[in-house]
Amino acid sequence: MPQQSFDPTTATAVLKAAKFPRSGEPNDAALVSYAEAAVASWIRRSQHDRLHARALADFLYKAAAKTYHCQAILRCLLKVLTAVGNYTDAERALVTYLDLAEKGRVRAQKGSSFVDIDDAHTTVQTAAEGLQMLVRYVRDAGKAKETAEVLRGWIVASSAADGSQTGLAADKEAGTQETSGEDKMKILSTAWMAVGSAYNLEARSALNNSARDADAESARLAFDKALAFDDNNTEALYEYSLLLAEFYHDLDRAEELARKARKIDAGHLGAAHVLALILSAREKYLEARESCRCAMQDTTGEQRRRMSLAEKRLVLQIRMTDIALMEVTEGPQAALEKVSDSLFAVYNDLFTWDEDTVESQIHEASTSAMSFPRLSEKDWEKEKPRRDIVPAAPVPAIAITAHNGQEIGEAADVDDDDDEEFQRDVTPSPFSTSSSTSNSSGRNGAELNSQKQILDNIPRDLISNTSNIPAAILTDMRVNSSRSQSLLSKRSLILPRSIRRRLSDSSIRSRISSKSSRPPVTAASIIEKNKGGANRVLRNSLSVDDTELKTISMQCLREVWLLVAGLFRRREKWNECAAAIAEATKLGGAKEDTFTERGFLMSAQGRTADAMEAFEAALTVSIDHVPAIIGISIVLLNLPDKEQPVARDRAFVLLETTTKLEGWDSSEAWMLLGDIYESIGSEEQVRESWWRCVQLEETRPIRRWKVAWMWDTAQ
């Protein structure tokens, strides 16, 4: 194919010379050849500015009108329309392309000729690119899954065509170039990776746990096949590691894949972020921070300004994860200083531009034309519980406890000392509403002896085969042949103490005092320090005629201010927290995330009525906003006894629904649901809810897993 770049004058001449084909004749070869060469050159030379891409798209529209059922033109249109962000027309081009491919396949089976058709491998490659577009930008899980099924059929067809003389003859007749064996392997790897991404998206959108598990398993099998064809496919390694960590809680395999992706491509930001979250789930906070630091060092100021919008947002997310880790290891004060010193500076680097670089801000250079800008991301996952920094034992201990926190069979003075040490060291949940970890008054010895765990209904193979039991559960059960049958209770199942610790509503304290000679960080000081930066960047973004850029630049700054608000709240700096929330509200108005943060602020101050009002407002905006559901449930379950029945019923409806939908991976939601089941004596449901809580908490990262998925922009 000639190495010819796109030129409007030449394109016009080619269009004038082309004639619409008669029945049974092929399309104008010069027109098709020039279109393919121009698009290939545009991709290869990173000619991705918006004006050039749109001119090329206009040419391809006119070329489509001068051809009949030409898959090559549609294939080119798909690439360019994806680049310019016209996903509606790109989706139409994909649908038409696949329809023509299917008609051509059927005719070939019947022995009829069909001119200008792509071979099976080219069809697989194009379908994979289109499927990635649907997953990453359109984000319609249903359409993506349907297209994935079509693509799987074409993968089978391409494999069959490799050994078919008929298929080879058809390729020669159509004038297609034979694809090398290595290229075929990479095409198939990319195709299976796209299929896995589609099922991954469907799993995130599933309406019940069984459907979610089935889609996650389909995604796992697809990623396995992708790596079987090309074990160096970094995108497959990255997405597979996230899938294993999030849906399967397999941190060992997930870490292995993420490290391999980083080894192959040290600049892969997604893999670096997943690795940091995995390490944080293992409570290896310093290693997690090192992963974040290395990822940030790999990007310079000039490089950041020329990144795609997806990459820009991911860089900011990595810095926010680093600050969350710093809050755990060094305390909220150090984290606030880091925000003031570097987080806004990173934002300024990412979203500062001049008139000459606005175009490159909007569209990225991509050799595959498949990693283009995306819409803004859901921001409610900013304030997640920080895990306590208890020195890791060989196996984390989750002890069988009574409601007063005392471990059954242990001396009270030892347990009290342990709880006191925890009160000094823990960095608790941002969902905190009170200053005590105890959830009930003390009980006498007789009651303690009767409050043993209900474990008799746990399958025997789980107890005999301890590899199926989470490490923390295994230690806490203290299972042995003489005791396992005595771990019974006729009333309730006590959620293990260490899980209660992580999810408790204890007072907000830092593990490290973080003494600093610097003046205290305030919202006003942050605004003053960055008024020439972030605010100017925001004004610039609002002056650019690009809705996507406006949305993402504003959304990113909003997320930063909500992070700041959470840090101030955990430092019990109420006025500063309120000021940070006000700054976030200026960026897009009052929404579920700002209402929810205000609700937690009111709750932390003991203003229950105001907290309820804020959480109600959040749910009015978004009925399935998980942090708001958790916040309002905590308030409802702590109302006076006379209001408990009605309040408990409402909390139950909210929690039971959210654990099937958006909150399926929220350990807080499962814990609270288990509390409700316990209060009504539903032992089987208590066991299921708390088992899920323990399973999630054992592999819980510093922030929610979904923040590491580059293409997740749910609001």
Name, of 18-27, 218-227, 440-449, 583-592, the range with top average pLDDT: 218-227
Of 69 and 201, the structure prediction assigns the larger pLDDT to: 201
Q: What is the mean pLDDT of the chain?
A: 75
Please determine, for residue 395, whether its predicted confidence score (pLDDT) is greater than 50: no
Binned at pLDDT 50, 70 and 90, residue 352 comes out as low
- Residues 222-267 have pLDDT tens digits of 999 999 999 999 999 999 999 999 999 999 999 999 999 999 998 8
- What pLDDT shows up at residue 349? 82
Of 416 and 261, the structure prediction assigns the larger pLDDT to: 261
- What pLDDT shows up at residue 43? 79
Over residues 304-322, the mean pLDDT reads 86
- Nearest in space to 42 (alpha carbons), one of 81, 1, 95, 6: 6
- What pLDDT shows up at residue 252? 96
279 and 287 in contact (C-beta within 8 Å)?
Answer: yes
Please determine, for residue 535, whether its predicted confidence score (pLDDT) is greater than 90: no
Binned at pLDDT 50, 70 and 90, residue 26 comes out as confident
Euclidean distance between CA atoms 364 and 48, whole angstroms: 7
Euclidean distance between CA atoms 118 and 83, whole angstroms: 22
Of 468 and 310, the structure prediction assigns the larger pLDDT to: 310
Euclidean distance between CA atoms 443 and 202, whole angstroms: 48
Binned at pLDDT 50, 70 and 90, residue 554 comes out as confident
Q: How many helices (H) does the chain have, and how many strands (E)?
A: 34, 0
Binned at pLDDT 50, 70 and 90, residue 284 comes out as very high
- Residues 457-513 have pLDDT tens digits of 333 333 333 343 334 333 333 333 333 333 223 233 555 555 555 555 333 333 333
Cα dist. 349→111, 336, 691 in Å? 60, 19, 44
- Residues 429-453 have pLDDT tens digits of 333 333 333 333 333 433 333 333 3
**Cβ neighbours of residue 701 closer than 8 Å, sequence gap 6 or more:** 245, 277, 278, 280, 281
Kindly give the interhelix angle for 644-658 and 626-637, rounded to the nearest 10 degrees. Answer: 160
- What pLDDT shows up at residue 473? 35
Of 624 and 416, the structure prediction assigns the larger pLDDT to: 624
Euclidean distance between CA atoms 413 and 415, whole angstroms: 5
The rounded radius of gyration (Å) of the Cα atoms in the chain is 28
Please determine, for residue 674, whether its predicted confidence score (pLDDT) is greater than 80: yes
Please determine, for residue 692, whether its predicted confidence score (pLDDT) is greater than 80: yes
- What pLDDT shows up at residue 270? 93
Please determine, for residue 407, whether its predicted confidence score (pLDDT) is greater than 50: no
- What pLDDT shows up at residue 311? 85
Largest distance between two CA atoms of the chain: 97
- What pLDDT shows up at residue 393? 30
CA angle, residues 209, 215, 218, in degrees to nearest 5: 145
Q: Domain coordinates of the chain in residue numbers?
A: 412-425+437-503
- What pLDDT shows up at residue 209? 85
Among 257-261, 311-315, 711-715, which stretch is predicted with the lowest mean pLDDT? 711-715
- What pLDDT shows up at residue 640? 82
Place of tokens 């796109």: 6
Binned at pLDDT 50, 70 and 90, residue 5 comes out as confident
- What pLDDT shows up at residue 405? 36
CA angle, residues 635, 637, 643, in degrees to nearest 5: 100
Place of tokens 């860089």: 315
Please determine, for residue 597, whether its predicted confidence score (pLDDT) is greater than 90: yes
CB neighbours of residue 437 within 10 Å: 18
Instruction: Extract the tokens encoding 354.
Output: 């001049």
- Residues 106-145 have pLDDT tens digits of 887 777 665 678 888 899 999 999 999 999 988 899 999 9
DSSP state, residue 26: P
- What pLDDT shows up at residue 306? 73
Q: Is the backbone of residue 423 left (phi > 0), alpha (psi -120 to 50) or beta?
A: alpha
Among 462-466, 518-522, 668-672, which stretch is predicted with the lowest mean pLDDT? 462-466
- What pLDDT shows up at residue 607? 94
